Amino acid sequence: MDKKVYDAVMSGQSDNNIKYTDLQNLLIGLGFEFKRQKSSHTMYYNSSINEFMNIQKDGVKAKAYQVRQLRDIIIEHNL
């Protein structure tokens, strides 16, 4: 897991500037596994905390609201 990306997500100041691939790698580093892709939606699941995370591209970046959702999951489950 890339600490720089984790810190950027947790700071809340870069929600619009997180690369989609960086967010994918962070999810995997946090224990999420790829489940499926349907159209532009990519679904990940973490069985240890029973959480799904759906992400989409916005160009080369991740959607800001999905970065906020991941931050909330990280805080809620102390990841």
Total domains, the chain = 1
1 vs 51 pLDDT, higher one: 51
**Residue numbers of the domain that contains 17:** 3-77
Q: Is residue 24 within a helix (H) or strand (E), and if so which, with residue range?
A: helix 20-29
Contact between 55 and 42 under an 8 Å Cβ cutoff? The reply is: yes
| CATH code for the domain of 8 | 3.30.920
Output the CA–CA distances (angstroms, integers) from residue 70 to 40, 48, 59, in the order listed: 18, 15, 19
Is the pLDDT at 1 greater than 90? The verdict is no
Q: Which residue has the tokens 């995370």?
A: 53
pLDDT tens-digit profile of 10-49?
999 989 999 999 999 999 999 999 999 999 899 999 999 9
Q: Is the pTM of this model over 0.95?
A: no
Mean pLDDT on 43-60: 96
